[in-house]
Each structure stands twice: as C-alpha cells, then as structure tokens.
Structure 1
C-alpha cells in the first residue's frame, strides 16, 4: 500500500471527483484511476462509486479513508521529526484551541515560538472536546487546548491539566432574570448552550446537580462564541460564557452576570492529544511555551 496512493485517495475525498483530484495532484486522470483500482484490488473491496457528478465512497472506502488520514499524517510527522532532529526546523503543527485560550495564553506562546522558528507553519482552529476528538484520532490535529473532564477521557487519548477558567451565567441587562440570585430561579429559563452535551457548554449542569436541582433543558445550541453574545441581545436567553469572553462582550452587548449564590464550577483546561502518538520536537517546544504562558 503506497503512501502516494493514500494521499490521492484523500485528495479525491476533498475534491469530490477523480478528475479534479488528478488536476490538483498534477497527474493524468487515467493514472490516478489505475492507482485507485490497484488499491481496490489490494484491499479486496470497491472503495468508490463513480457517477456523472463525481464519486462517493463506499463503506469500505470510508473505512480506508480513516486509516489513510492517520497513516499520511504519521508519515509526515516522521519526516518532520527527523528533519527537526537534524536541525532543519520546518514542517507544521496542527492544533485546536478553545476561544478563551485563543484570546489569552495562545498568543503569548505563539509570539516567541514563531519568532524563533520561521520555518514552522502553525495551523490553529477553534474547537472543543469532544467535537474535535475525531480529528485527534485521525491525525488531523496534533493536540487540542480544550476544556476537559479529567475523570472522563476517551480511551486512546491522554490529557495534561493546563489551567482553570472561570465561567459566568450571562444574560442581557433587560432580561427579567438578570437579577436572579438562586439557580432555582433559572431552572425554567430559556437556556442557550455553547455546545451540545457533554461538551463544556453544558458545564453549568454540574452546578444544578450539586444544588439538588434538575438541570435545565436548553432551547438552543450555538457553537459560535462570536455569535452567541449577539443572540442574548433583545432576547430572554440565559447562557454561560468564559469570564474572558464575557468581559469582552459585556459592554458592547449590554450583558450582565447573573449573581447566583451557588458556586459555579470552573472549567478545567487541558492539553488533549493521542496517547500513542509521539510529538515532533517543534510541537514539544510550542507546548513548553504554552505551559509557560499558562503559568505566568
């Protein structure tokens, strides 16, 4: 099984057709078709269904795709690690970061790292566990800076505690519940979660359970923290926000923190990655800068 054929399979999935993938790879369409046919013969199953509009992947093809992404990613990491060990600091680091970390710790870590290693490309996306876990497993991400439940990590993943972040219950100042002082008053509120369960958007449910109350039922989920503050304006939504996000949106959106008496659990932020996948020297150094920024 050739790495180049697996790369071609991934490009076909990305482009949606063999013709477009062949153009992107700068090879002829017949040559690419032959390579895929040889791969199908090797695995003993059809991988693609060819139609007039392009190609779709069979169940066998989707299974091969998952492994292909990891194999190709690991092949690239091997080349980058050897090059970096020999003093050639090139390659890329792929990570996801919670917005609250992207606004604070990550820029502090990236500035000195990028100034020192101009040949390293860093690709950062917004993302939270468990939604980004498949990307970690497939090799699409090297690590994630994300809220985690330390006692509930998926098998195959490992986490290193990094820091804690406060969250606040937020609403627009005009919300009738803006001056509520007990969680009980918020049980029937129109809750807006930033993630589906069991993501960090539902973290507030721990506070309700600790107070002996039935957790609220969200009426809406918005996974964009850029959009979420806007949804609170002129509405009766109640939500939770990391304190750093709340402080930035408080004045621009006329938001307030609802002063409930019960304690609100902090978010544990961790470095989440695959347990069995070694990190390149560049990734290890960036993580050192991230730890330094978190501790300072």
Structure 2
C-alpha cells in the first residue's frame, strides 16, 4: 500500500497556505522555520510532487498543490467533524448539522422545519448559510456543510454529489406597482428595462438570463435578496423571484408580479450532498424534516 501523508504534515501544509509563508506558519505553530520546512518536504516526498514554490513575497501553490489543497481541506474538516460528533455523543449531546439553501427556502419552509427539528433534537447545534447553489458547492466540497438545497440546471457538475429533486417552483417577474412596465404581458416589452438579479455563474438565474437574452437594458447583480427587493420597490428595476415568495415577503402593497405570457420556466430545487462523505444521524434527521415540509408546501401559490 502506498504510504499516506501524516496528519501533522497536513496541518502544517494547511497553516502554510493560511499564513502565506513558511516563516509566518512556523511562528503560528510554535515551530522553527527549518522544522516546518522539513515537514513540508516530507509531505512532498510522500506525494511525489512539489506543492509550493517560494518567491519574494512568500509561497505560491503549484498546480499539484492547489489540487491537493482542495482534498486536504475536506479531509481535515471531516476529521474535525468526526471528532466533534464523537465528543457530542460522549457528552450525551444531540449532534450538529450545517446546511445551505437559497432565499426561497428561508421565506417558506424553513421556520416550520426548524420548529419540528427542535422538537426532536432540542439540544442539537444548527448552522446554515443562505446563498445561491454556485456559492454553496465549494463549502460542500470542503466539508463545511452537510448538504445544500438549490436550483439546478445542466451547467452544474454533480458527479461528486448525490442529487435528490425536492420540488419544482414557478417564477414571476416583479416590479414596483408604479413601474411603467408593471402591466406588460410579454417578454419583448421588457427588453430595454433595467434588471436586478441574483449573482450566480450557474443554476436557474443563469438559465433565466439566457432565456431573457438579448436584454438591451442594464443588469445589476447581487446575492442579497434584501438589496434586490429594496431597489425594486424604490427605483424602476425589474427582478424575478419564486412565485411562492410573493406572499411571505409581505410586499403586496408595493410589488406586483407582471402578467407575462408565456410564463417563465420553472426551477427544479434539489438536495445535494457529497457522494463520499457519510451523513451524520443529525443531518439525516434534518433532511427528513425538510423533505416532509417540501412535500406539503404549495409551491404554486403566491
């Protein structure tokens, strides 16, 4: 069997990456610079490749170093989480779960999910991140999240993940009630309008931009739903959100859904988790709770 890197070597390499130089990393770890250099060389010898190059302004990763760093961060995060899980079990705790989702989940099923989960695991730790799926996938790869929920399309590479479709949600173009285009009924009438859309390199909103193309007006981007809604209500910009968000946001007095025909394409939202990282019991319970609430929710209702 090929010799594997040692844990102390991985932690040393991780600190070198974080600090940007061997000197700073050695100081952070309380080691001498020659000792840390020796550890790095041992790791490179084990892997059979150079991981860093030195320059006037510190170290930079080689292509091999960049590739190994991604896997290494995941391995160390999994070891950390395994240790935490055992610690929680030994302390008669109820585990922890970390997951990510888009704003649609936050404004619809999330409160019920958290309430029901708390009834089963009142002492469990819960952390979550709201973002587009394109921004959640790196955290999944590094093991910072147990799973994520987001909209998919063919641009998202999923070979390393397990995908489970949860629901399909229709989308609406929105504008302030006073927007001059608020009563438009066709996409062609909106070509010259200004838009404010979530920023993403993949998924539904990227597909939507292709659907709306060519847009001859300007497009602003942000991953903040509060910023998007604020500008939609106060200046003449259009946006698009899941129809199921219209009522929970309580914006009926200021925002309208345009009566566009044909309607926008719907988005498929799926559960995504790493294929090679086993889910903890606590994460599985959270997923089961989410599945149940997604099945019961009416995604077509504003």
**Alignment CA distance shift 1:196-1:145 (3 Å):** closer
Q: Within 5 Å, give how 1:10-21 maps onto structure 2.
A: 10-18=14-22, 21=25
Q: Distance in 2 between matches of 1:151 and 1:17?
A: 36
SS of 1:237 mapped into structure 2:
coil
Which among 158, 169, 179 is matched to residue 173 of structure 2?
169
Q: Distance in 2 between matches of 1:161 and 1:24?
A: 45
Q: Within 5 Å, give how 1:189-268 maps onto structure 2.
A: 189-204=193-208, 216=215, 219-247=219-247, 248=249, 250=251, 254-268=254-268
SS of 1:198 mapped into structure 2:
coil
What do residues 206-265 of structure 1 show as CA deviations (whole Å, max 9, x unaligned)? 866xxxxx553662322221211223344332210223544426268x332212132233
Tell whether 2:296 aligns with 1:292: no
What's the counterpart of residue 178 of structure 1?
182
What's the counterpart of residue 101 of structure 1?
105
**Alignment CA distance shift 1:90-1:38 (3 Å):** farther
Which among 135, 138, 141 is matched to residue 134 of structure 1?
138
**Alignment CA distance shift 1:15-1:280 (3 Å):** same
Q: Which runs of 5+ in 1 are unaligned?
A: 209-213
Deviates more, 1:281-290 or 1:118-127: 118-127
SS of 1:180 mapped into structure 2:
coil
Give the superposition deviation at 1:24: 5.6
Give the superposition deviation at 1:86: 7.9
- Counterpart contact for 2:132–2:200, Cα < 8 Å: no
**Alignment CA distance shift 1:142-1:288 (3 Å):** same
- Count of matched residue pairs: 289
Give the superposition deviation at 1:164: 3.1
SS of 1:226 mapped into structure 2:
helix
**Alignment CA distance shift 1:32-1:118 (3 Å):** farther
**Alignment CA distance shift 1:33-1:119 (3 Å):** farther
Q: Distance in 1 between matches of 2:179 and 2:72?
A: 51
Which among 22, 34, 39 is matched to residue 43 of structure 2?
39
- Counterpart contact for 2:134–2:200, Cα < 8 Å: no
What do residues 84-142 of structure 1 show as CA deviations (whole Å, max 9, x unaligned)? 78895565433211111123323322334346546643331122223433332333322
Q: Distance in 2 between matches of 1:22 and 1:112?
A: 47
Q: Distance in 1 between matches of 2:126 and 2:36?
A: 31
- Counterpart contact for 1:89–1:282, Cα < 8 Å: no
- Counterpart contact for 2:153–2:207, Cα < 8 Å: no
Q: Distance in 1 between matches of 2:22 and 2:118?
A: 37
> Normalization by structure 2: what TM-score?
0.78
> Normalization by structure 1: what TM-score?
0.79
SS of 1:264 mapped into structure 2:
coil
